[in-house]
Amino acid sequence: MPELNELNINAVKESFKEALKTVTNLAGLDDLRVRFTGKKGDLTLLLRSLGKLPSELRKEAGIELNKLRDEIEHAIDITGKKIRDSENEKQEVSQRIDVTLPEKGRVSGAFHPVIQTMHEIANIMQGLGYSVATGPEKEEEFYNFECLNVPKWHPARDMQDTFYFPDGTLLRTHTSPVQIRAMLEYGAPLRIICPGKVYRRDNDTTHSPMFNQMEGLLVDKNVPFSVMKGTMAEMLNAFFGKSLKYRFRASYFPFTEPSMELDIECVECSGHNEHCRVCHGTGWLEVAGMGMVHPNVIRAGKIDPDEYNGFAFGIGLDRMSMLKYGISDLRLLFDGNVSYFLSGFGGVERC
Ligand code: PHE
């Protein structure tokens, strides 16, 4: 135990001052506290040795030592506060958020153009009282062909080159089998649309083996031909956001009679550009197949064709979205490269 005298009181004081200068963090400060005021600390030892002093010196030395203890404790408190303040400030600065900085820009997800088109047309048709029906993509010949007035021997089967499974089922070649399924399930009167994927053995710049269609079917009593024309015009004007010109061309589908194909005026040039890349100068775009539902089809749906009739249409959703959004190559729709779409093709709003 050090002997207590003025000399070593000063020495402790000085060594504390020196040591305090080297302290940079709270852990160092705590070491310092232990070194001087801990159980075996320099100051503590001096305080303990007070008792050994002759009584005439004790009082004086006691006052000195207590003063030094107060100074040391005060200095430790002050330094601790300073260190804590500066650490807090450092943390605050490092975590500070500058709300005035410009944003880095972000790429958000969006619906595929074909899905957007599907939603838009479905919304329009729902506004006209149609409900959305669905059916399987792996379909039975019965629904895909037979019920639609296309028996096995029928040459119209060649119009839709089909993918068959070994068990005789097939990938549906159109959404028309949903007409039958819906009639069987819901009966008449009926208004449905059926969007979905269809498959054909076709693969070139304008055809893909998988594509998207939307079927429409209305069955009711005394449905006039004009309702079909009006419905198609209503749907397409709403979809393209303008009043278009229409052309109905006589055509053939086994499941409708009479049958026709619908052309709309070219949405790109309205027939004013003989070099138009969309209509190739014809001024017209073929968009849908349709017709008054054949009585055999109504019958296959277990509805009496003497009481009910109706119309049906099939529209290509891929083509619709290409026309609306100015997409020039069908293959871009099925390509995994999203940069084309993110670069703001033909004016779809990014959401
Ligand atoms: N299913 C026909 C096709 O895919 C389109 C269509 C549907 C035609 C309904 C008439 C009525 O080509």
Q: Which range has highest mean pLDDT (30-39, 139-148, 331-340)?
A: 139-148
Stretch 6-35: mean pLDDT: 89
Q: Report the first-to-last Cα separation within the chain, whole angstroms.
A: 79
Name the least confident of 77-91, 99-113, 160-174, 201-215: 99-113
Mutation to probe ligand 1, out of 253, 255, 297, 315 (largest number of atoms < 8 A from CB):
253
- pLDDT tens for 261-320 read 999 999 888 889 999 888 889 999 899 999 999 999 999 999 999 999 999 999 999 999
Question: Considering the chain, what percentage of its residues have pLDDT values greater than 70?
Answer: 93
Ligand 1 geometric centre to CA of 297 (Å)? 13
Give the pLDDT band (50/70/90) at residue 7: low
pLDDT of the residue at 346: 47
Give the pLDDT band (50/70/90) at residue 195: very high
* DSSP code for 129: T
Structure pTM? 0.68
Mutation to probe ligand 1, out of 160, 174, 317 (largest number of atoms < 8 A from CB):
174
Give the pLDDT band (50/70/90) at residue 351: very low
Tell me which long-range contacts 115-119 makes (C-beta under 8 A, separation of at least 24).
116/321, 116/348, 117/239, 117/317, 117/320, 117/321, 117/324, 118/195, 118/212, 118/214, 118/317
3-class DSSP assignment, residue 196: strand
Q: Which atom belonging to ligand 1 lies closest to the Cα atom of 293? A: 11
> Does residue 47 have a pLDDT over 90?
no
pLDDT of the residue at 130: 97
Q: Which atom belonging to ligand 1 lies closest to the Cα atom of 213? A: 4
Mutation to probe ligand 1, out of 158, 180, 255, 262 (largest number of atoms < 8 A from CB):
255
Stretch 166-173: mean pLDDT: 94
Which residues surround ligand 1 with Cβ inside 6 Å?
A: 174, 176, 215, 253, 256, 289-291, 312-314
Give the pLDDT band (50/70/90) at residue 204: confident
pLDDT of the residue at 1: 46
> Does residue 108 have a pLDDT over 80?
no
Ligand 1 geometric centre to CA of 286 (Å)? 13
Stretch 127-133: mean pLDDT: 96
Give the pLDDT band (50/70/90) at residue 190: very high
The DSSP code sequence of 2-36 is PPPSHHHHHHHHHHHHHHHHH--SHHHHHHHHHHH
How many other C-beta atoms are found inside a 10 Å radius of the C-beta of residue 241? 9
- pLDDT tens for 239-278 read 999 998 999 999 999 999 999 999 999 988 888 999 988 8
> Does residue 348 have a pLDDT over 50?
no
pLDDT of the residue at 170: 94
> Atom 4 in ligand 1: which residue has the minimum CA distance?
174
What are phi and psi for residue 323, nearest 5 degrees? -70, -45
Stretch 32-54: mean pLDDT: 87
> Atom 5 in ligand 1: which residue has the minimum CA distance?
314
Query: What is the pLDDT of the chain when averaged over all its residues?
Result: 89
What are phi and psi for residue 96, nearest 5 degrees? -65, 140
**CA–CA separation, 133 vs 130, rounded Å?**
9
Ligand 1 geometric centre to CA of 91 (Å)? 68
> Atom 2 in ligand 1: which residue has the minimum CA distance?
314
pLDDT of the residue at 332: 84
Mutation to probe ligand 1, out of 159, 170, 176, 199 (largest number of atoms < 8 A from CB):
176
Q: Which atom belonging to ligand 1 lies closest to the Cα atom of 176? A: 1
> Does residue 347 have a pLDDT over 60?
no
Ligand 1 geometric centre to CA of 290 (Å)? 6
